[in-house]
Amino acid sequence: MNTATREFEWLDKLSEPEIQESLTELIGKLPKIKEAMTAVENGVDFLREASQDPLVGEQWDRLTSALNVNEDTLKNLVALLDKLPFLVRMANLLEQSVGFVEAVMNDKQSVNDLTEGLKDNARVITDQVQKGYSLLRDVQARAVSNQQQQISIFTVLKWMREPSVQNILRYAQAFIQVLNENNRKA
């Protein structure tokens, strides 16, 4: 294809219906495009004049010096913007959680069920603590009453066959092993 043919190739395209329809639509939008371009030009002119105004320059300097904007601040701002989608998801989740908690707290039946459940759990814990305290009192009383009794090596060997002593010794052995491992790491 020679250069003259390529130059007028676009004239041939004007006869296509899609091109004619697109050009008609574009011509119809020209007033809006002109308005948008004028608004952009006005904005650029305003920014150009504002940047040359000494008062605006002083206020800009005062603002940026008060904000302590430097390269690190801008890097951190970019990092924060990168994390913004995650932070928005977390804020939405937090908002939903707060909404749920408010709904529960405003519902008397839910509050009653919650307090009853907590009381039941507290009762179980309190009962276990009281059993442990009772066991300690009994052990202390027996130790005081058997203070004069001598403990021989045969008594200790007899205790070694007791399942509860075996269990305590397993815990003691595991405790010593973990303690030694932690000391080696440190």
pLDDT digit string (tens) for 134-172?
999 998 998 888 888 888 898 888 988 999 999 999 999
Residue 93: what pLDDT? Answer: 93
Say if CB 156 and CB 150 are below 8 A apart: no
Q: Which residue has the higher pLDDT, 86 or 67?
A: 86
CB-based contacts of 133: which residues, under 8 Å, 6+ apart?
A: none
What single-letter DSSP state applies at residue 16?
S
Which residue type does 139 have? Answer: V
pLDDT band at 74 (very low <50, low <70, confident <90, very high): confident
Which residue type does 129 have? Answer: V
Instruction: Map out the domains of the chain as residue ranges.
Output: 1-69, 151-186
Q: Where are the beta strands (DSSP E) in 75-157?
A: none
Mean pLDDT over each residue of the chain, to the nearest integer: 86
Long-range residue pairs from 163-169, CB within 8 A, at least 24 positions apart, any chain: none
Residue 126: what pLDDT? Answer: 94
